Amino acid sequence: MRIACHRDLMQKYENPLEHACDMQEGQVFIADGWRKPESFCDSAWDSISAFVMTLACGGEDIYDGWMKNRRSAMISCNDGFRPVSFLLEALDEDAEG
């Protein structure tokens, strides 16, 4: 995961915020199908959940050959000032156990 920050856009268009995002680079979350992982940003989940569900249900090759790993996707949240990019990867069912 990577977090971008467009300070020029923030300065020009955003009202000052004390606290905008809790996401940190390097965090790992495991989703159980459609269930949002605990402490995951609600707005980011709204942006990526359809892709998570697609991969969780066996979907592959999102956007027709875009990713090297057919069972993955690189998706960003919808915050135009500080977008967070998430690498989504399908896990085998027994990956945790």
* Tens digits of residue pLDDT in 37-78: 998 999 999 999 999 999 999 999 988 988 999 999 999 999
What pLDDT was estimated at residue 19? 78
Q: Per-residue pLDDT for 97 more than 50?
A: no
Amino acid at 89: E
What's the CA gap between 8 and 38, in Å, rounded?
32
CB atoms within 10 A of CB 77: 20
What pLDDT was estimated at residue 21? 84
Rounded to 5 degrees, what angle do the CA atoms 73, 97, 70 make?
20
pTM more than 0.95: no
Q: Per-residue pLDDT for 32 more than 90?
A: no
Average pLDDT over residues 13-33: 87
